[in-house]
A = this chain, B = another copy of it.
Amino acid sequence: MTVPLELPKAIDLSHHLNSIARNRYASPLKDILNYMAQPGMISLAGGLPHPSLFPFAGASVSVYTPDTDLKHGVVPPASEQMTLAIPKTAPSKGALSLDATMQYANSMGLPELREWLHAFTRDVLSPAYANFEILLHEGNTAAWAKVCRLLLDRGDYVLLEEFSFPSAMGPWVPEGCKGVPVKMDGQGLRADDLERVLTEWETAHPGERRPRVLYTVPQGANPTGTTMSPERMRDVYDVCRRFDVIVCEDAPYHALSFRPFQITPEPVDPVGVSGEEFRRTLPPSFLKYDTEGRVIRLETFSKTLAPGSRLGYFVANPLFTERLLRATEVESQTPSGWSMAIVSQLLHTWGQAGYLQWLSNLRDSYELRRNIMCAALAKQFVALPAEQYASQVPGCEGVALYPRGTDPATIKPDQVPVASFVAPAGGMFLWIRFYLTGAPRFRELQASGHEDPEKAFMDDMWKALADNLVLLTPGSYYVPVTTTFDAATSKLPTTSERGGEPNVGFFRFAFSYGDRAEMEEGIHRVEQVVSKLWGY
């Protein structure tokens, strides 16, 4: 765990801890651990069950080799699989055993796994400060809830993307906190808008505490599929530094970072690269710019190995990991010993190069899925570069979709397409922006003075899609809760009340699960509904 000596240490950020975090204390029982190590000591102090009474006598897990081609959904034959064995007792000192991993354990998490991840973080993400630490957790859902309970006080505001994963609001909304949406573009969160929000805070919210926490998904954001450029990340970090904001970087999709996209009628099959090339071309983490230790990175194995592992890790400064550890001791103890043991064995068996190769192949697999969905859209609509064809349509970036049969030569630069999207540079989701003024029913709703024509039209469209046997996720699900929420009475604000963009609506299309035939048929069904609603 050596780090270059020249890196700075994290600065003191203790003023960010909330009152709960400050008042946590170590269990007095832990003091005893210091004495346990004395030679000849007999401890009648601990409350550990005896491991001879655990019924588990050994475990073995068959796993893929790290160079398995994942693009075709084929399970490799048994002869090409590896076996992870976890014996009941350790064959040598320090080796993994069920007796140890099934026992109560230090809440930091399995030491050999933490060490592996520390080296991986250092080698792959290059944090810009020296004393970052690794603390295991039970997946990013649990991790973000722990961060909320570390930093947020009742009534606080949380900075987040203007479309954000609803479960990420779940921990703080019932606590009386409120979201502050930051505007996005094709690269995700906009640094200039973040700066605007923070600069105008005192004027816009007199007497209310300025937000001190930014929750962001920099790569393959859910739902928008956006990925920040390195420059954008540096700018966002800089604003956070200047306004003393803690950056909570939720990074489930980081490894699923794709190469650039081109409109093609047939999906491009991505060319595999070595783990080392993958590492070199992986987008940065906020940690790379984090000279002060103000980034809390939430890493998970949910997307890179399997969600059922319920295992991930924090990368954060020692002050934060220590306080998170105190919470973990009394709120969850440790992640599952099964999960820690199996993932640790897997990573040690594969090695860093192997894991990078696995991630590279996994990325290819999702990149192919992205390409399949985008090609399906290009087949059902006329797909053209927005820059070239819709340059005067506000907010239209990436690929513009026009009705089937449209002659590109006739398109005027201010002509509103049916929809547009920025091809995701990572993750599992395509976020499609529909331009509603082309739909007669939307214009009717507007003309009738409906209080939220965008939402009403998109609700109708969602039902029409479901009736045509294709399910999408409505964009409205991802609108941050910006007001004090009362589950018994609360009504969410309308599109105009929340300052949402007029005349547009969004759906999230997931390309993570369906196979090629399903995605193509699904997009076909979407086009059927669109052509009916848009009347072409």
Taking Cβ atoms with an 8 Å cutoff, the residues of A that contact B are 19-25, 27-29, 32, 35-36, 38, 40-64, 68, 70, 73-76, 78, 81, 88, 98, 101-105, 138-139, 141-142, 145, 166-167, 170-171, 173-176, 222, 302-303, 305-311, 329-339, 341-342, 346, 358, 362, 365, 428-429, 466, 469-474, 476-477, 485-488, 508-514, 518-519, 521-522, 525
Contact = CB atoms under 8 A, between A and B. Distances in A.
Contact of A61 (B47, B56, B477): B56
Given A40-B469, A139-B333, A338-B339, A52 B64 contact: no
B170 A55 contact: no
A167 B145 CA distance: 20
Contact of A24 (B170, B469, B471): B170
B45 A70 contact: no
A56 B46 CA distance: 36
Nearest to A346: B55
Contacts of A70: 52-53
A36 to B, nearest CB: 7
Contacts of A47: 222, 428-429, 510, 512
A38 B102 contact: no
A310 B331 contact: no
B332 A142 contact: yes
A167 B330 contact: yes
A308 B469 contact: no
Given A44-B522, A49-B302, A70-B52, A25 B336 contact: no
A358 B530 CA distance: 61
Contacts of A470: 41-44
A22 B332 contact: no
Residue among A36, A46, A81 with the highest chain B CB neighbour number at 10 A: A46
Contacts of A59: 59-62
Nearest to A511: B44
Contacts of A58: 61-62
Given A48-B513, A62-B57, A332-B310, A29 B338 contact: no
B43 A514 contact: yes
B471 A306 contact: no
16 contacts: A19-B174, A20-B175, A40-B469, A41-B466, A42-B525, A54-B305, A57-B63, A57-B75, A58-B61, A58-B62, A102-B307, A102-B308, A141-B333, A307-B337, A310-B335, A338-B338
Given A60-B59, A306-B102, A25 B487 contact: yes
Contacts of A43: 470-471, 510, 513-514
A19 B175 CA distance: 8
Q: Lowest 10 A-B CB distances belong to which pairs?
A: A308-B337, A170-B330, A336-B336, A102-B306, A102-B308, A338-B338, A52-B73, A23-B174, A45-B471, A54-B306
Given A48-B512, A170-B330, A309-B336, 18 more contacts: A23-B176, A24-B174, A32-B471, A32-B473, A35-B471, A43-B471, A44-B470, A44-B510, A45-B473, A47-B222, A49-B306, A49-B428, A54-B305, A58-B62, A98-B306, A102-B307, A103-B307, A167-B329
A21 B466 CA distance: 32
A142 B102 CA distance: 17
Contacts of A76: 57
Contact of A358 (B36, B55, B338): B55
Contacts of A485: 23, 25
Contacts of A101: 308
B338 A49 contact: no
Contacts of A64: 55, 57
